[in-house]
C-alpha cells in the first residue's frame, strides 16, 4: 500500500473514531455514566490515529510550521494542500456513517418486546430496560420534570434528634458476621440516640458540600423517603413520622398507636407491630425517572436494598434486632403513611427494629 493510500485510510478511521468519541461522550452524559469505558477507549483510538496521521504527514506539517514560524514565502517552502475534502475523504465518511447506521439498525436491532412473559412481567421489564446496542432507549434527560430532592411537611410538628455520631462501635467484620433477621423484641424503650443513628445510617447526610448520603444513589438523586411508625421510643410521642433528611429531624404526620394498622399492612406478621419502631421506605420515582427513564425501577429497588442493609448493620452494631419485610399490602402501607399513585410515591419496604429480648 502506498503511503498516500495509508494516509487516506487513517483519515477515514480518524473521522469514524471522532464520531465514536462524540457518540460515547453523549451517551455517557445522557445515561449519567461516570468513566464510561467505551468513551475512554474511543479517546485512545482517536489519539492513536491522530498520531499516525501526524507521522504520515510529518513533512508537510513541519514545512507548514516552518513557513509560519520563519515567515518564509510560500514559494520557497513546501506547498500546503488546499484541496479540502476530496472525493475519497467523502467516500470514507459515507462508508463509516452507513456502516454505523446499519450496525445499530439491522445487525444489533433493539430487543424490545421480544421476550415471552411466561407469567413473570419482571422478565419483560428486565429486558425492556436493558442497555442494548441501541443505548438511547435507556434514557433521555428531561430537566423540566425534575422534582425537589427533599420532601417536607411544612405544617408538621418537628422532633429534633441527637447527634448520630458513633464515638465507638464493634468492628464492621464482627457486625457482618453477627447480622441476622430478628423477629422477637423485648418490651423496652428504644433511645432517641438509637433512633437517630438508625435514621442517619439509612439516609443521613455524610458529606455536607454535595449533600451526599450514607447510602449510594444513582446520580445522587435520592428517590427514597423514610417514614417511621414509632411505638416505644424514649421522649417521642407514638405516631407516624417522616424523616427530614436535610435537618436530621422527624416530622409528625399522625399521632397515636398504629401497631394494628402496621401489622395488618405487613400481611399480619405479628412482629411487624411488636417492634419499637417500624420503618417504611417509599420512593418518589420521578426523582430518578427524569434522568434514567426505563432504568428507574431497577435503580430505585437497588437503592432500597442499600438503605435496608445499612439499617441492618447499624441495628446489629447497636445491639438491636431488625427484619426486612417484603410481604406487605402496598395500598394499606401507602395509606398508613399518606402516599399514593397520585403523588407518584409508593411503598417499597417495611423494616421493623426492636430491642433484643
Give residues in contact with ligand FMN (CB under 6 A).
Answer: 180-181, 183, 269, 323-327
For strands 320-322 and 239-244, give the pairing: unpaired
In the complex, least distance from residue 283 CB atom to ligand FMN, rounded to whole angstroms:
15
Which whole-number Å values give the CA distances from 227 to 46, 202, 243, in the listed order? Answer: 51, 11, 6
In the complex, least distance from residue 308 CB atom to ligand FMN, rounded to whole angstroms:
7
Contact 96, 11 (CB under 8 A): no
Residues 6+ positions from 222 with CB-CB distance below 8 Å: 149, 203, 213, 245, 287
**Residue 240 dihedral angles phi and psi, to the nearest 5°:** -105, 130
**E strand or H helix that includes residue 354:** strand 345-355
Long-range (24+ apart) CB contacts under 8 A made by 338-347 are 338/240, 338/253, 338/254, 339/225, 339/282, 343/284, 344/284, 344/285, 344/286, 345/225, 345/282, 345/283, 345/284, 345/285, 346/282, 346/283, 346/285, 347/280, 347/281, 347/282
- What is the three-class DSSP state of 201? helix
In the complex, least distance from residue 180 CB atom to ligand FMN, rounded to whole angstroms:
4
Measured from the CB atom, the residue of 159 and 308 that comes closer to ligand FMN is: 308
DSSP string, 71-98: T--TTTSPPPP---S-HHHHHHHHHHHH
C-alpha cell read off for 95: 462508508
In the complex, least distance from residue 93 CB atom to ligand FMN, rounded to whole angstroms:
52
Measured from the CB atom, the residue of 171 and 326 that comes closer to ligand FMN is: 326
In the complex, least distance from residue 29 CB atom to ligand FMN, rounded to whole angstroms:
33
In the complex, least distance from residue 275 CB atom to ligand FMN, rounded to whole angstroms:
12
Report the alpha-carbon distance of residue 276 to residue 265 in Å, rounded. 17
Report the alpha-carbon distance of residue 239 to residue 55 in Å, rounded. 75
C-alpha cell read off for 330: 402496598
Contact 261, 227 (CB under 8 A): no
In the complex, least distance from residue 90 CB atom to ligand FMN, rounded to whole angstroms:
58
Residue nearest to ligand FMN (CB): 326
132: how many CB neighbours lie within 10 A of its CB? Answer: 16
In the complex, least distance from residue 155 CB atom to ligand FMN, rounded to whole angstroms:
34
In the complex, least distance from residue 181 CB atom to ligand FMN, rounded to whole angstroms:
3
Amino acid at each position: 500500500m502506498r503511503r498516500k493510500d495509508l494516509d487516506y485510510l487513517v483519515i477515514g478511521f480518524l473521522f469514524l473514531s471522532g464520531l465514536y468519541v462524540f457518540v460515547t461522550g453523549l451517551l455517557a452524559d445522557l445515561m449519567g455514566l461516570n468513566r464510561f469505558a467505551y468513551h475512554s477507549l474511543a479517546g485512545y483510538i482517536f489519539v492513536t490515529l491522530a498520531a499516525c496521521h501526524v507521522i504520515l504527514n510529518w513533512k508537510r506539517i513541519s514545512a507548514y510550521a516552518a513557513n509560519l514560524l520563519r515567515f518564509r514565502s510560500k514559494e520557497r517552502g513546501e506547498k500546503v494542500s488546499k484541496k479540502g475534502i476530496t472525493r475519497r475523504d467523502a467516500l470514507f465518511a459515507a462508508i463509516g456513517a452507513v456502516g454505523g447506521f446499519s450496525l445499530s439498525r439491522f445487525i444489533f436491532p433493539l430487543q424490545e418486546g421480544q421476550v415471552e412473559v411466561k407469567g413473570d412481567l419482571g422478565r419483560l421489564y428486565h429486558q425492556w430496560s436493558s442497555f442494548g446496542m441501541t443505548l438511547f432507549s435507556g434514557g433521555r434527560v428531561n430537566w423540566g420534570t425534575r422534582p425537589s430532592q427533599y420532601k417536607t411537611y411544612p405544617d408538621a410538628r418537628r422532633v429534633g434528634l441527637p447527634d448520630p455520631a458513633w464515638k465507638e462501635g464493634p468492628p464492621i467484620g464482627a457486625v457482618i458476621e453477627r447480622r441476622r433477621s430478628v423477629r422477637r423484641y423485648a418490651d423496652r424503650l428504644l433511645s432517641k440516640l438509637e433512633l437517630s443513628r438508625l435514621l442517619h445510617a439509612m439516609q443521613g447526610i455524610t458529606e455536607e458540600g454535595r449533600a451526599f448520603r450514607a447510602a449510594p444513589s444513582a446520580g445522587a438523586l435520592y428517590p427514597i423517603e423514610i417514614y417511621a411508625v414509632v411505638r416505644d421510643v424514649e421522649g417521642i410521642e407514638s405516631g407516624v413520622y417522616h424523616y427530614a433528611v436535610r435537618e436530621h429531624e422527624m416530622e409528625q404526620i399522625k399521632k397515636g398507636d398504629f401497631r394494628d394498622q402496621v401489622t395488618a399492612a405487613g400481611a399480619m406478621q405479628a412482629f411487624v407491630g411488636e417492634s419499637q419502631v417500624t420503618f417504611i421506605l417509599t420512593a418518589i420515582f420521578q426523582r430518578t425517572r427524569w434522568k434514567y427513564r426505563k432504568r428507574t425501577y431497577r435503580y430505585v429497588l437497588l437503592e432500597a436494598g442499600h438503605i435496608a442493609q445499612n439499617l441492618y448493620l447499624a441495628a446489629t452494631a447497636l445491639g438491636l434486632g431488625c427484619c426486612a419485610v417484603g410481604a406487605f399490602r402496598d395500598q394499606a402501607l401507602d395509606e398508613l403513611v399518606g402516599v399514593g399513585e397520585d403523588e407518584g410515591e409508593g411503598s417499597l419496604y417495611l423494616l421493623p427494629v426492636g430491642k433484643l429480648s
